[in-house]
Amino acid sequence: MDHPSTEPSGSAVSAPSVEPGARRVHSFSRFTTAVAVLALAAAGYALWRLDATRDRLDQVNDLTHTLEANRAALRAQLDALAEEGLRERQRLESRLDALATVPKQIQEITSSIEELRGRTEGPRRAWSRAEARYLLELAQRRLLLERDVDTAILALESADAQLAQLRDGTLAEVRRQVARDIQALRAVRQPDTVGILARLASAEEQAMRAPVKGIVAVERPTRASRTPPEGMLARAWAVARGTLTDLIAVRRVDDGGGSIVTAEEQLLRRQHLQLLLFSARTAALRHDRATYRSSLAAARSWLGEFFDLNEPATAVLLDEIQALEPIDIDPPLPDISVSLQHLERSIPRAP
């Protein structure tokens, strides 16, 4: 320790060299401390991250366990559903096996129904055909014999209704012909037979009161019908006067009055006119056109020859006869026998 103090120049040189070394030792210690702090901080952060990572790993593990449990539950449900589907499939296959015989059963039932229908509908179809045939014959008979157009139309419509119930395509031509016959009958202009008969009957009543042409000779009362007066002289005078009166009868007759007719002739002329009108009425009932017109023509001629046309009653009766005479009581009727012929051809013949 004495050497530094004895060498002033050397101590002066060595002192400055010692001070920088002391500053380097101090700076190294602070650096080391800073590194240590940083290392501690990094270690603490690493530990915190490690703990956080462990927590997250624990959560992931828990979630994994939960997912595994759910997966196992789903797998169990899938297995249960698969088993249930297998059982349902087996049941469905068993039902399908049972249904495999249904078409055959349906076919057997259908054939049985068709057989029963054939047995039940056979008589009904035959009955419907027979009834339609009868109605067509009735229409034709009523039209030809009685000229009853309305009844013929009704019979044809009923026959068409019977044929429509059969639903048979082979009867189409018959039904078309029936429709044509109905239209032809509806086109017939039928006379008002009831009105004509009423007018002829009224004309017959008027003919009984129609004034006859000429002077009607009235018979004088006989003596037996006269009451004799009392007293001999009065009775004798009455007898003498009646005798003279019965011997001679004077009546004035002019050219306009015509001839003299008796009451019997007057009655016969009226009755003959009534018979002519009655003959026309009967012909109208029978639709006899020739007799109807000839009877009315004869009545018109008879009325003009033997009845006084100057009287209003006779003129009215003549106008009525002239109005009735041109009426066509027998219009032409169509032929409706073709539909019956078609129906007879469509009926199957017995073997």
Question: Of 60-69, 81-90, 236-245, 264-273, which gets the smallest average pLDDT?
Answer: 236-245
In the structure, what pLDDT confidence band is assigned to residue 9 with cuts at 50, 70 and 90?
very low
Stretch 148-174: mean pLDDT: 89
3-state secondary structure of 212: strand
Of 323, 321, 302, whose CA–CA distance to 213 is shortest?
A: 302
State how far the Cα of 284 lies from the Cα of 199, in Å rounded to an integer. 11
Cα–Cα distances in Å, from 125 out to 118, 263, 337? 10, 71, 22
Q: Where exactly are the structural domains of the chain?
A: 121-189+336-346, 191-218+257-330
pLDDT recorded at residue 248: 53
Phi-psi region of 165 (alpha: psi -120 to 50; beta: other; left: phi over 0): alpha
Helices (H), 286-325: 289-306, 312-324
Q: Are 135 and 155 in contact (CB under 8 A)?
A: yes
User: 204-227 pLDDT, tens per residue?
Assistant: 999 998 888 877 665 555 544 556
State how far the Cα of 25 lies from the Cα of 167, in Å rounded to an integer. 132
Phi-psi region of 73 (alpha: psi -120 to 50; beta: other; left: phi over 0): alpha
User: 291-347 pLDDT, tens per residue?
Assistant: 999 999 999 999 999 998 898 999 999 999 999 999 988 888 898 988 888 888 877
pLDDT recorded at residue 11: 40
> CB neighbours of 131 closer than 8 A, spacing ≥ 6?
159, 162
R_g (Cα) of the chain, nearest Å: 70
**Any bridge partners for residue 260, and if so which?**
215
State how far the Cα of 338 lies from the Cα of 134, in Å rounded to an integer. 14
User: 13-56 pLDDT, tens per residue?
Assistant: 444 444 444 445 455 688 888 888 888 888 888 889 888 888 88
pTM over 0.85: no
Q: Are 297 and 273 in contact (CB under 8 A)?
A: no
**What are the tokens at 6?**
């004895």
- What is the helix, strand, coil percentage profile of the chain, to 5? 80, 0, 20
Q: Which residue has the tokens 């050497």?
A: 3
State how far the Cα of 201 lies from the Cα of 274, in Å rounded to an integer. 9
Phi-psi region of 227 (alpha: psi -120 to 50; beta: other; left: phi over 0): beta
The percentage of residues in the chain with a pLDDT greater than 70, rounded to a whole number, is 77
Q: How high does pLDDT run on average in the chain?
A: 80
309 CB neighbour count, 10 Å cutoff? 15
